A and B are shown apart, each in its own frame.
Chain A
Amino acid sequence: MSLGFLDRSRTIAPAGWSRWLIPPAALSVHLAIGQAYAWSVFKPPLEKYLGLSGTESALPFQLGIVMLGLSAATLGTRVERNGPRWAMFMSLVCFCGGFLVAALGVATKQYWLVVLGYGGLGGIGLGVGYISPVSTLIKWFPDRPGMATGIAIMGFGGGALIASPWSTEMLTAFGVDYDPTGRVLGVADGAIATTFLVHGLAYAVFMAVGVLLVRVPAEGWTPKGWTPAQNKARELISTASVSAANAVKTPQFWCLWVVLCFNVTAGIGILEKASPMIQDFFRSTPAPVTAASAAGFVALLSLCNMAGRFVWSSISDLVGRKNMYRGYLGAGAVLYLVIALTTNVSKPLFVICAMLILSFYGAGFATIPAYLKDLFGTYQVGAIHGRLLTAWSVAGVLGPLIVNAIADGQLAAGKSGPDLYTTSFYIMIGLLLIGFVANELVRPVRAKYQEPGETTAREEVAR
């Protein structure tokens, strides 16, 4: 069935099309959907205006992340078949439509519409948008797939950096009153609904540029002066094609699932409680950390999370994916051990260790598409990536659960300071070591899982 302007056939790049137009196309989607991680900005005004609890106001975000994992896993094959323009357009419609439905929900004080709009519909936009440019970028940058996907996935981290101050300014402009500490004093009628409406429209325009710009390379296109043999010489890199349905039957897929899940869990271990953690660690020292300084620490970790996505993922093109994950997981475990052993001896040491751990956390997300491409080829790498993202959903529950449960338990036992967290850190070290072993077990995919001959996405469309 032809999809008209959105059809893959309409997006084949003409001769001379610059591949450097593809990363901005990908970024225009990822920077937009990355807004999801700035949802917390809307929580206090929503709680005040609709009389919600903290748990209730978190529902749209939580549903959004669940839908991200589910839609990436279930719609990945369709995204591969229909092409990146269709996928980006669907992401635009769902993500921005979600904001519009949420605006209607707030305007009519029907909170379930906010949950289903932003979380349900918007969450589908998150999942489809997240995987939409992955295989296209890998095809345009076969010589530097880690760098290319690193740019896009860095955008997902960067989206919250943009949305957080922007959304706060807009809420203020439309009638949300804050006191100097950031507490909400009052919310004017229509303030949140108008903010949601403007967000939906503005993100639609922003993402539309990506929809218009994105192109797939013509069949047989390769970068000037590059031959597949240059990459093939490196361990694990194959030119084989493995379908998404076959990939999930391989031990390699599940090894990488464990690697991603535990790498993310370990990062969330710090990210989740960064602000109270640094204050608790240094409370009884001569130089305690204030709430404002702790906010600066959280911001610094966000920067490292974003930078790690680009920097480490780009380096993976030079040293290989398996070696990079040895570093993320092995060095990550050592850094956790340093924090657990030195506790509050040195603030700079604590901050540097946390920065590196968070850079590895971001890098784990950004390097995985290129690792998948190395193992399974480009045939359905976007769909395989979508299925692997279920590891993220599990880690998103596991990480906060471990850290919060242990901190609460230690607090109830009368402990304080670093003692609240050291047990969690030793658990994170164990998880990272399991991930390290899983990475060591990754071997080239056996021939029985590979598609016969050189199957390309184009042939898939024809079926």
Chain B
Amino acid sequence: MTDRRALTVLSWLWVGLPLVYGVYELILKVVQLFTG
């Protein structure tokens, strides 16, 4: 059960981290709407 939990966490990190990177880069651009 612990193995499955670790696998679940790892698999969500695998897809979550790139997505967070993409959203972060996008938010930097969104800020331009108010400051650009």
A162:B32 contact, CB within 8 angstroms: no
Cβ of A129 < 8 Å from any Cβ of B? no
Query: In the complex where A18-B8, A158-B19 touch, is A293 in contact with B26 (Cβ < 8 A)?
Result: no
* Chain B stretch 7-35: residues in CB contact (< 8 A) with chain A: 7-8, 11-12, 14-15, 18-19, 21-23, 25-27, 29-35
* A430 interface residue (CB < 8 Å to B): no
Asked if residues B25 and A165 are in contact (CB atoms below 8 Å), the reply is yes
Would A162 and B4 be within 8 Å (CB), given that A297-B33, A299-B29 are in contact? no
Q: Which residues of A contact B7 (CB under 8 A)?
A: 18, 21
The reply to whether A21 and B26 form a contact with Cβ atoms under 8 Å apart is no
B4 contacts which chain A residues (CB < 8 A)? Answer: 16-18, 21
Interface residue? A258 (CB, 8 A):
no
A112 at interface (Cβ–Cβ under 8 A)?
no
**Chain A residues near B26 (CB-CB < 8 A):** 161, 299, 302-303
Given A16-B1, A162-B22, A165-B25, CB of A24 within 8 Å of CB of B11 = yes
Q: Closest B-chain residue to A299, C-beta based? A: B29
| Cβ–Cβ < 8 Å partners of B34 in chain A | 293, 296
| A296 adjacent to B29 (CB under 8 Å) | yes
Residues of B within 8 A of A17 (CB): 4
Q: Tell me how many residues of B have a C-beta within 8 Å of chain A.
A: 25
Given contacts A18-B4, A296-B29, A303-B30, contact A24 B19 (CB under 8 A): no
Quick check: is A27 within 8 A (CB to CB) of the other chain? Answer: yes
| Contact present for B36 and A24 (CB under 8 Å) | no
- Interface of chain B, helix or strand or loop or mixed? helix
Indicate which residue in B1, B12, B36 contacts A293 across the interface (CB closer than 8 Å): B36
Bound CA span A292–B31, Å: 10
> Most chain-B Cβ atoms within 10 A of its Cβ — which of A17, A24, A298?
A24
* Residues of A1-50 contacting chain B, CB below 8 A: 16-18, 20-21, 24-25, 27-28, 31
Query: Does A213 lie at the interface of the complex (its beta carbon under 8 Å from any beta carbon of B)?
Result: yes
User: How far is B18's CA from A206's CA once the two chains are assembled, in angstroms?
Assistant: 10
| Interchain CB contact (< 8 A) of B25 among A24, A155, A164 | A164
Known contacts A161-B22, A161-B23, A302-B26: A292-B32 contact under CB 8 Å: yes
Q: Which residues of B contact A303 (CB under 8 A)?
A: 23, 26-27, 30
Residues of chain B within 8 A (CB-CB) of A300 are 30, 33
Q: A162 to B14: give the CA distance in the assembly, Å.
A: 13
Set A161, A292, A296: member contacting B19, Cβ < 8 A: A161
Q: Given the complex of chains A and B, what is the CA–CA distance between A16 and B5 in angstroms?
A: 11
Minimal beta-carbon separation of B30 from chain A (angstroms): 5
Question: Is there contact, CB below 8 Å, between A295 and B19?
Answer: no
Chain A residues closer than 8 Å to B30, beta-carbon distance: 296, 299-300, 303
Partner of A295, one of B14, B15, B23, B36: B36
The answer, yes or no, to whether A209 is at the interface (CB within 8 Å) is yes
Query: Cβ of B15 and Cβ of A20 under 8 Å apart?
Result: no
* A21 cross-chain contacts in B, Cβ below 8 A: 4, 7-8, 11
A25 touching B11, Cβ below 8 Å: yes
Complex CA gap A24/B8 in Å reads: 8
**A16-B1, A16-B4, A162-B21 known; A296 and B14 CB under 8 Å?**
no
Rounded to whole angstroms, the CA-CA distance of A410 and B35 in the bound complex is 31
Q: Compute how far the CA of A166 lies from the CA of B12 in the bound complex, rounded to whole angstroms.
A: 20
**Chain B residues packing against A (C-beta within 8 Å):** 1, 4-5, 7-8, 11-12, 14-15, 18-19, 21-23, 25-27, 29-36
| 11 A-B residue pairs with CB within 8 Å | A21-B11, A25-B11, A28-B15, A31-B15, A155-B15, A155-B19, A158-B23, A165-B25, A293-B34, A296-B31, A297-B33
